[in-house]
Amino acid sequence: MNTKEASPLRGRHFLTIAEYSAEEILKILEKAEELKAEKSGHKPLEGKILGMIFEKNSTRTRVSFEAGMLQLGGHAIFMNTQDSQLGRGESIADTAQVLSQYVDGIMIRTFSHDRIEELAANSGVPVINGLTDLAHPCQALADILTLKEHKKTLEGLKVAYVGDGNNVANSLMAICAKLGIDFAIAGPKKFWPTEEVLKTCKEFASTTGSKILVTENPVEAVRDADVVYSDVWTSMGQEDENAVRLMEFEGYQVNEELVSHAKPDYLFLHCLPAHRGEEVTSGVIDGPNSVVFQQAGNRMHAQKALLVELLKD
């Protein structure tokens, strides 16, 4: 890509995977590979500022975005609800209009997806979803970047997700369906992705030939998988459900017996943080098939590419 030309994605919001075509997703991933390999110290976002709003705690999202902006020559400003007027009742719409005059882009990590949609509707600069209860699209970009690095091709792959049909599962299923990757998810039926999410992903899959399987049987999901993926059973904001969820998800642990049904060269992925001994055993997450720390590192590279595509003049 000619770096003197603005990206055709410039100025876009990045709220869900659904809003981007397969070609646009692959373009971001190609840019991520380019930036990860680059040693020149090129600063394509020199002078640019990213405002970061955190209504949920974070390790990977905060550090990867902040470090990424610095490496690109820009700057990131951290804001949480305790230290900003959002914590005193200022509306998300007013916040968007004010911040748009100070920064070149806004990343938010929040609860209800309605909040990020309201922020984007009132923002004059690109808004990036750092996580909502519905979607975690930046994680999905890092996941596929990791697959590309290890599997070299996405063609013919099967991804099996075992656990809660949460924001991570929603975005992972969507990106797999968009890119023609088979996707299986196993968990108790009451924790499956919503019918609306499943309907949307199946529509994507119908155009790419991707197969989507939703089952209560983890062995069925993992059988012949190239990738086995897990996440915590209790996400932030669900702490009062923890005891119940531990019982509900009994039998869905990713352990040595379960992964024996995957392909011998399967990859284990986890968005982290992990609860060893709950959703995954130490033997799996710390084993030779696990690439969870490279996956975590790829959050920064995928997001750097996204930032360049959305913010570069």
Binding-site residues for carbamoyl phosphate sit at 58-61, 85, 109, 136-139, 271-272, 299
Bind-site residues:
58-61, 85, 109, 136-139, 167, 231, 235-236, 271-272, 299
Q: Is 97 a catalytic residue?
A: no
Q: Is 299 a catalytic residue?
A: yes
Bind-site residues for L-ornithine:
167, 231, 235-236
Identify the active-site residue in 271, 295, 301, 303.
Answer: 271
Q: Which residues contact 104 (CB under 8 A, 6 or more apart)?
A: 48, 49, 50, 74, 125, 126, 311
Report CA 264 to chain centroid distance, whole Å: 26
Identify the active-site residue in 109, 245, 270, 301.
Answer: 109
Report CA 79 to chain centroid distance, whole Å: 21
Q: Cα angle at 31 between 147 and 207, to 5 degrees?
A: 60
Q: Is 231 a catalytic residue?
A: yes
Using CA atoms, how far apart are residues 312 and 182, in angstroms rounded to an integer? 34
Identify the active-site residue in 62, 136, 245, 270.
Answer: 136
Identify the active-site residue in 62, 299, 301, 303.
Answer: 299
Kind plus residue range of the DSSP H or E element containing 227: strand 227-230
Residue 180 CB neighbours (<10 A): 18
Q: Is 176 a catalytic residue?
A: no
Q: Which residues contact 44 (CB under 8 A, 6 or more apart)?
A: 3, 72, 73, 308, 312
Q: Is 62 a catalytic residue?
A: no
3-state secondary structure of 129: strand
Q: Is 182 a catalytic residue?
A: no
Residues that are catalytic: 109, 136, 139, 231, 271, 299
